[in-house]
Chain A
Amino acid sequence: MPYSIKDQVAVIGVGCIKFGDNFDQGYEEMAVEAAFAAFNDAKISPEEIDAAWLGTYSPAQGHGKAAVSLGDALRLYNKPISRVENFCATGTDAFRHAVLAVASGMYDTALVLGVEKYKDRPGRGLAREGVHPYHNDGSTAPGLFALAATRYMHTFGLTREVLAKVSVKNHYNGSLNPKAHLQKKVTPEEVLTAPIVAYPFGLYDCCPTTDGAAAAIVCRADLARKYRDDYVLVKGVGLSVTSGRPFMDPNFDYLGFRATQNAASQAYAMAGVTDPLKEIDVAEVHDCFTWTEITNYEDLGFAKKGEGAKLIEEGRTALDGDIPINPSGGLKSFGHPIGASGVRMVYEIVTQLRGQGGPRQVKDPKLGLVHNVGGPGAVSCVAILGQP
């Protein structure tokens, strides 16, 4: 049983910029805007930050594969800064690293910054880097998840009509969120008749390619009150890495993601959660594609395998349901700048726990969950946040 860091680290400030096609903002401008929003929220000055973690999957043009893009953007020099890259779990994993470092007692405060600038790249979709020239030729992000969706639908008889309900819900939530990329409601008909991107996913089954940045400040729990009264505590974190080549793993059933299941059980064990459906009040989960949200329900323990669709069909994951999922609008409508997403989800859960969600506020949440799953279901990071 790993050492538990439950209640040892507090989130004292969060910041998030407007996500979208940020044509007029460069990487550094977005980084600065998000970081200073978090500094202001925590009423902390940059000098008080002991260490920082940068979550960036694709460094900005000219930035290099190091942590210097955070230091240079904020002029935060001579501090320990690390860059984290772990597929789509990059942002949550950066948060996890900062939490563990503070829990270790080495640092009192730490900054987590997630940034991604995608809309200044040529081509369509996400650039694929570091893939095998032959073995992965032909794969795209939606294509990789579509392989799982096809197998799942074949096995459990799930239909595109049910997937569409996830899109409708998350677009509705996003329409209430001024920082979301796509603030637009959609109808089931629009979802089902949109052009196919990678069967079974149509355009509205897929999250967009988005620019964005988000930041969080964490500190030792015993120092949190120095900054604010309504701080939020980290209850548990988990990270799991499985094969990045599930398509060559003869043991993989393609009916869900082992990484999510493992990361969640680590985080639940640390947080003392035994019945997630009852105990978790609100969750931001990785809905890169509509089907991913369905399997997340199951892999996170909100439903049995093969029965996740019931939660969306019965409206239980809507804003007013008993387990509201993705009140922010999710990746589907908030957008998914890889490294920024996990930190943006922390921002959303902290906002919800503080009761500052405005029109998308869910009812009296005490315990919230952040989840990312990245690559072809290879890497998952889960964080559980709660009120003191």
Chain B
Amino acid sequence: MIGITSCNYHVPFCRLEREKIGQAWARRAGKGERAAIYFDEDALTLALEAAQRCIEEKGKAGIGALYFASTSAPFWQRSSASFIAAASDLPSECETMDFGGSIRSATSALRAAVDALSGERLSRVLVAAGEVRDGQPGESEEEWFGDAGSAVMLGRDGVIAEIIGMASRTDDLLDEWRRDTDDFIQTQSSRFTTERGYQANLVAVGKALLQKQNLQPQDCAKVILPSPDGRAHVAAAKKLGFQDAQIQNPFFQEIGACGSAAPFLLLTAALETAKPGDQLLLLSYGEGADGFLLRVTEEIKRRSLSRSLSDHLSEKRLYPSYQIYKKMRTYYAENEDGPELSNVFLAKEEKQNVRLYGSQCMRCGTRQYPLARVCISCQNHDSLQEVPLERTGHVFTFTRDHLYVAPDSPTIMSVVDVTEGGRLYLQMTDVDPEDVRVGDEVVLTLRRRKEGPTMHHYYWKCRPAR
């Protein structure tokens, strides 16, 4: 049996009410909010957060490949998949691939993963998607798009949703695109793109898949399809023969159209209420379409859901203005005042800075960071072993620093005692500064740090456990 063993999402803590975008451009706006990155997030960090949740849930033993999908990766050239693999402390034998070019790229990666598992070449594959989506300023897409990350772990053991069928089609219809010179996504949204692009492709792939499996729409518990505008998905699903109750909420009012991050995010939401035996039709659009038929297994009962997507979305910070939302997206591009570091330094320190290893004294047991040769507790020389630190902990002490120059002040600096030992000095993110207390439980999260003249910097921060 090949299928999903874990799936997760990460929606930015910050949101912007669409009304605020309308105010900025002096026009009417749509309802709801769009998910919007903080200054320290990008498509890579969003995908990594979701991937890290999969690893937390299922461990990382046996992961043979990590695939990354995005249309908005932070690098034109440099593998985000390789960086996520390092941050996830996967071994160098891990196969990494980057998928892009289409908002369908996450499901393209999913197809490739299923193929790799079917050929028995690999036994577990982690697929992560992240998107930071920018419509043309002032156009409706600026409101409709949203930022998010999502991930699925695939394997043969512990499958919660078996993949029983796949179908694909291609269609070079110009719907949304971004040239190598464009900062914003180009669109020609119209009834034409909705009907002849989105609807036609999803209906065609959905029909083909149902036919191939000899299934009727009523045999499926849910149809899951991302929505470009909060409406079109309903028409497409109905055209396929589905009833309202079968249509997965696309969370358009809470997140927005989040490109390649949408399929796994919505699948995760659908699995929250799924029962063994439920069949799910997952559809994904972009220059054609991909479709997957999944059957939920008994294993789903063993999944302990601590919180639903709705719970996750209810904790948030609303940007007070369009200007602040905009600053968070552009600050690093406009402020390259971070350090220029050598690749020698970065390579030397990868183990502690990216893989988050510390040293454990084999004599007295103290875990310490950064990597050391002499124990900080017993001063014993060369009795230290490199160990991966846990990525959870609690706040020992903190400050709200208004002096430090940052795009958003104050900066929360915290001293975090890591679960199982080790102490770290970390900026805290995704939190209302006034809510921080000594003793708070936190989760470590790799985020963008000061921008260098030629490079993005990433280092660990912490955020409240949620």
Contacts and interface: CB of A to CB of B under 8 A. Distances in A.
Interface of A: 123-125, 133-140, 142-143, 146-151, 154, 195-200, 243, 245, 247-251, 254
A249 B404 CA distance: 23
Interface stretch (B119-127, B154-162, B220-228, B418-426): B418-426
A139 B398 contact: no
A283 B413 CA distance: 32
Contacts of B403: 124-125, 140, 142-143, 197-198
Nearest to A139: B413
Contacts of A123: 405
20 contacts: A133-B338, A134-B457, A138-B406, A142-B403, A143-B413, A146-B401, A150-B438, A151-B397, A196-B402, A199-B399, A247-B424, A247-B425, A248-B370, A248-B424, A248-B425, A249-B423, A250-B421, A250-B423, A254-B396, A254-B397
Contact of B422 (A137, A143, A243, A250): A250
A199 B433 CA distance: 10
Nearest to B433: A199
B96 interface: no
B25 to A, nearest CB: 34
Contacts of B370: 135, 248
What secondary structure prevails in chain A residues at the interface with B? loop
A124 B405 contact: yes
Interface stretch (B45-53, B189-197, B201-209, B361-369): B361-369
Contacts of A150: 397-399, 438
A146 B399 contact: yes
B404 A196 contact: no
Contacts of B410: 196, 198-199
B417 interface: yes
Nearest to A137: B449
B341 A133 contact: yes
Contacts of B253: none
Contacts of A254: 396-397, 415
Nearest to A249: B376
B329 interface: no
Contacts of A248: 368-370, 423-425
B415 A247 contact: yes
B445 interface: no
Contact of B427 (A138, A142, A196): A138
B459 interface: yes
Closest 6 A/B residue pairs (Cβ): A146-B399, A247-B425, A151-B397, A134-B459, A143-B401, A199-B400
Nearest to A124: B403
A136 B425 contact: yes
Contacts of A250: 366-368, 376-377, 417, 421-423
A125 B438 CA distance: 26
A147 B415 contact: yes
B433 to A, nearest CB: 8
Q: Which of B349, B376, B424 has the most CB of A within 10 A?
A: B376
A137 B413 CA distance: 9
Given A147-B413, A254-B396, A142 B401 contact: yes
A82 to B, nearest CB: 28
A225 to B, nearest CB: 47
Interface of B: 338-339, 341, 349, 353, 366-370, 376-377, 396-406, 410-411, 413, 415, 417, 421-425, 427, 438, 449-450, 457, 459
Contacts, number: 111
B396 A151 contact: yes
B404 A139 contact: yes
Contacts of B413: 138-139, 143, 147
A136 B459 CA distance: 11
Contact of B457 (A133, A198, A243, A251): A133
Nearest to A149: B399
A245 B103 CA distance: 45
Contacts of B422: 250
B427 A137 contact: yes
Contacts of A151: 396-397, 415, 438
Contacts of A243: 376
A66 to B, nearest CB: 25
A138 B410 CA distance: 10
B415 to A, nearest CB: 5
Given A135-B459, A250-B421, 9 more contacts: A134-B349, A139-B404, A140-B404, A143-B403, A143-B411, A151-B397, A198-B401, A250-B376, A254-B397
Contacts of B404: 138-140, 143
A243 B369 CA distance: 12
Contact of A198 (B402, B417, B421, B459): B402
A196 B399 CA distance: 11
B120 to A, nearest CB: 41
Contacts of A154: 397, 438
Contacts of B366: 250-251
A148 B397 contact: yes
Nearest to A155: B438
Contacts of A134: 349, 353, 449, 457, 459
B421 A147 contact: no
Contact of A133 (B339, B369, B399, B406): B339
A138 B415 CA distance: 12
A146 B410 CA distance: 13
Nearest to B434: A199
A199 B404 CA distance: 12
A46 to B, nearest CB: 40
Contacts of B405: 123-124
A80 B368 CA distance: 41
Contact of B401 (A136, A138, A195, A249): A138
A248 B371 CA distance: 11
Nearest to A145: B399
A153 to B, nearest CB: 9
A250 B370 CA distance: 12
A195 B438 contact: no
Contacts of A147: 397-399, 413, 415
Contacts of A249: 368, 376, 423
Nearest to B418: A250
A196 B402 CA distance: 7
B400 A196 contact: yes
B402 A197 contact: yes
B440 to A, nearest CB: 12
Nearest to B338: A133
Nearest to A128: B404
B29 to A, nearest CB: 35
Which of B402, B403, B417 counts the most A-chain CB atoms under 10 A from its CB? B403
Contacts of A149: 399
Nearest to B425: A247
A249 B367 CA distance: 10
Contact of A140 (B341, B396, B401): B401
A253 B423 CA distance: 12
A284 to B, nearest CB: 25
A251 B349 CA distance: 24
Contacts of B367: 250
Nearest to A138: B427
A327 B421 CA distance: 44
Contacts of A124: 403, 405
